[in-house]
Amino acid sequence: MFAVTSHSRPQLDFADMRAFLEHGWGELGLRVAGCWRDFNDRYFDGRLKPLPIVLVATSPHGHWLGLTHGSRNGHGTHRIELTHPGMGARLIADRTTLLHEMIHQALVEQDVNPHHDKEPGAPRSRACMRR
């Protein structure tokens, strides 16, 4: 899922991103940061910019596992949210959810339509098939 916002994105490096996740979620946060870095190197040639990844307890109406927030004003992706039921529980969103959200991030950073358009030629559809 992709949400549009209008504010500028923070400038982080990977150490900031990793520290943000570790501070909030300890070992789980470190694993999420490591997975993001691995996917960035493996599937995006290291081009994605580090960003806040937030683990949230619930999603609106319980219908999404991940959400990417980006802007239409050229400021890129602001954050990725992954669902987590609470302390001591497993992360509900998994590695495939993170990769899905990173595809949205890549499209936003390329200034390409990141939405869930259904037609096979849509940018997100092509990106998913290329991965």
Per-residue pLDDT reduced to its tens digit, 10-41 = 578 999 999 999 998 899 899 999 999 999 99
Terminus-to-terminus CA distance in the chain, angstroms? 18
Q: Could you tell me what percent of the chain has a pLDDT over 70?
A: 57
In the 8-state DSSP scheme, what is residue 50?
A: P
**What is the total count of domains within the chain?**
1
Greatest CA separation for the chain: 42
User: How is residue 2 written in tokens?
Assistant: 């992709």
Residues spanned by the domain of 104:
2-130
Express each pLDDT in 51-105 by its tens digit: 888 887 766 556 666 767 676 555 565 777 777 665 555 666 788 888 988 988 8
Averaged over 109-127, what is the pLDDT?
62
Burial track 94-127 (b if 16+ CB lie within 10 A, e otherwise): eeebbbbbbbbbbbbbeeeebeeeeeeebbbeeb
Closest CA to 68 of 32, 106, 123: 106
